[in-house]
Amino acid sequence: MRTKLIMKFSKDLSNRPITYDLIQSFNLCVNILKAEINHAFEGLLVLDIEGKSSDIAGGLKYLEAAGVEADLITNSIEIDPDRCVSCGLCTGLCSVRALVLSKEERALDYQANRCVGCNQCVGVCPTGAIENAIW
């Protein structure tokens, strides 16, 4: 299966090679979508991961035991259908084509599996319909 994983690290953990362990011990194929570390040495990592369901479950157990705050996420953004007017402005800044206007209906179509959580769309949506669903 393929999914997205968000991890938050405390200062104590930010020097530990957690991602390496996920690859090495659980055979997960990892693509780093976002990595941040703040002035207090607290870190945030968003990964696109692919592997067997049992390995992903094993990885999550490992993260829990290591004290990493971790969660699987299906959506990087949430779109409020009551606010979205399908103007399509967000599609212009979505370089991975997770947000497109459908050919026939010209309705906004969000394909979560393509989204890399860059959040460019959140700021440009004029009606405030798109929210960051990760943090």
Partner 1 sequence: MASRTFESINQKIKSGQVAVLTAEEVVDLVKDQGIDAAYDQVDVVTTATFGPMCSSGAFLNFGHSNPPIRMEEISLNHVPVSGGLAAVDTYVGATQESTDRGLDYGGAHLIVDLVKGKSVKLRAKGKGTDCYPLKEVERNISLEDLNEAYMYNPRNCYQNYAAAANTSDRVLHTYMGTLPAHTNLVTYSTSGCLSPLLNDPYYRTIGIGTRIFIGGAQGYVAWRGTQFNSGGPRDENGIPHGIGATLALVGDLKQMDPDYLAPASYKGYGTSLFVGVGIPIPIIDKDMLKQVALDNDQLFTNVLDYSVSEGKRPVLARVSYQDLQSGSIELEGRRVKTAPLSSLKKARHIADKLKEAIQTGQFYLSQPLELFDHQSGVKGLKKEDLCGQNS
Binding footprint of partner 1 on the chain (CB under 8 A): 83, 85-93, 100-101, 105-107, 123-124, 126-128
Q: How far is the CB of 87 from partner 1 (least distance, A)?
A: 5
Nearer Cβ to partner 1, position 27 or 132?
132
Q: How far is the CB of 131 from partner 1 (least distance, A)?
A: 14
Sign of CA dihedral 67, 71, 72, 75: negative
Nearer Cβ to partner 1, position 23 or 122?
122
Nearer Cβ to partner 1, position 54 or 95?
95
